[in-house]
Amino acid sequence: MARKPRIQMHLPNLYVGGIERWALSLLHGIPEFDWFLSTPADAPSHPSGLNEFAAFTLIGPGEDPPPVDALVTTWGVLDRGVVPTIAVAHSAFQKYREMMQTVRFDHAVAVAEAARACFLDPAAVDIIYNGVDIPRLKPSEPREAVRARLGLAQDAVVIGYVGRWGYQKNPLAAAIAAAQIPGAVALYIGPTPQDGPLLQEALRLAPCCFVAPEAVGRIGDLYAAMDVAMFASRTEGFGLALAEAWYAKVPVVATPVGVAAEHPDLVYGVPPEPTPLSLKLAVERALAGRGVDLQKARRTVVDRYSAARMVDDWRAYILARIDRARL
């Protein structure tokens, strides 16, 4: 019997964001590979993320990995002579671009058109679109029950944000929008303890509901509770949570970044640096249900941005690079 291909995946952290969801989809979706995980020595982690990655072999800091057939890296490169090294761009903010333009790699992949700009030669970069884990998006109970469990009034206007808390993600946009809409609440997953100042600012702006990542059995429950999903990132490589909202048929207010820039007809657009007024008007359009076909949004995810399709594309891509390296 032929030996399984041995692949090392190097991640920036073991948290619960889009990069980790991408990694878990590949790890579970391609079991015919032997996977080894590594992270930087100072990588942050989260208990829920550690729990999900526990089933896979983690190479500890300073520990030499076993010989592998390929290295797939999303944040820096461990230069141990592994061929091929496949660098994957998931983001588009300046620090990430600077890092991706200095690391050594044999092949480059971006998760959407926006992420291609991370590389000095975008034309040489392959695109393998990020993919949504569709089964996770089925709510565990009806909308009314989800809202009751989260302490949300049934008649509240719920403006949700799913994603990391950081400047480039602009999470405060949900609270800023909620402050402009009577009876509105900003619904957040997270934040982490180090995001305390942002949390306090969100609470100052508007009524907020914070849900800890480990308390979310199904991410679909959060989308079921929303009236509008807010993604006002300043930069974005893909925007996995945005595609999740599309599949859940939640109206999306978004800036023209990441995959939203490729489908302007599927979002209620706001400027790259939205004002309170532009957020208010976009949310009002979304609540009125004018201009965006939510069924089309879901079909787009099923046809183009499913985890199943992404896994198939990545399997073929890695095997082709391994074969080429052996020639």
User: What's the pLDDT score for residue 16?
Assistant: 75
Query: According to the model, what pLDDT value does residue 157 have?
Result: 98
Q: Please indicate whether the domains covering 6-131+306-326 and 134-304 agree at the CATH topology level.
A: yes
CB of 179 within 8 A of CB of 149? no
Nearest-angstrom CA–CA distance, 288 and 261:
22
Instruction: Find all residues with CB under 8 Å of 247, minimum gap 6, and list them.
Output: 132, 134, 137, 297, 298, 301, 302
- pTM for the model: 0.93
How far, in Å, CA of 142 to CA of 211, rounded? 18
Quote the pLDDT of residue 316. 98
Cα dihedral 266, 244, 286, 172 in deg (nearest 10): -120
Report the topology of domain 134-304.
Rossmann fold (3.40.50)
Phi, psi of 231 (to 5 degrees): -135, 85
Question: What number of residues does the chain have?
Answer: 327
Distance CA 318, CA 28 (A): 15
The rounded distance, in Å, linking the Cα atoms of 83 and 318 is 11
Render 114-143 in DSSP notation, one character per residue.
HHHTTSS-GGG-EE----B-GGGGS-SS-H
Measuring CA to CA, which residue among 211, 290, 180, 229 is closest to residue 16? 211
pLDDT for 78 equals 64
Please report the pLDDT score of residue 95 as a whole number: 81
Homologous superfamily of 6-131+306-326 in CATH?
Answer: Glycogen Phosphorylase B; (3.40.50.2000)
* Alpha carbons 35 and 30: distance in angstroms, whole number: 9
- Structural contact between residues 180 and 286, judged by C-beta atoms closer than 8 angstroms: no
Q: What is the pLDDT along the chain (327 residues), one digit of tens a residue?
A: 568 999 999 998 888 788 999 999 999 999 999 999 998 888 878 777 888 898 898 998 778 878 999 999 987 666 666 789 999 999 888 888 888 877 788 999 999 999 998 888 888 999 999 999 999 999 999 999 999 999 999 999 999 999 988 889 999 999 999 999 999 999 999 877 678 889 899 999 999 999 987 777 789 999 999 999 999 999 999 999 999 999 999 999 999 999 999 999 999 999 999 999 999 999 999 999 989 999 999 999 999 999 999 999 999 999 999 988 875
The whole-number pLDDT of residue 77 equals: 67
Q: Which residues pair with 23 in a beta bridge?
A: none
Judge whether 30 and 311 are in contact, CB under 8 Å. Answer: yes
Residue 66 Cα distances to 80, 176, 197, angstroms: 11, 49, 42
What pLDDT is stored for residue 76 in this prediction? 67
Long-range contacts of residues 140-145, Cβ cutoff 8 Å, at least 24 apart:
140/217, 140/218, 140/220, 140/221, 141/221, 142/224, 143/224, 143/225
At 161 the pLDDT is 97
Task: Return d(Cα 229, Cα 186) in angstroms, integer.
Answer: 10
Question: For residue 100, what pLDDT is reported?
Answer: 80
User: What are the residue boundaries of the structural domains of the chain, listed by start?
Assistant: 6-131+306-326, 134-304
Q: What is the pLDDT of residue 90?
A: 92
- Which DSSP letter does residue 234 get? S
Residue 43 DSSP label: -
**Which residues lie closer than 8 Å to 166 by C-beta, 6 or more apart?**
none
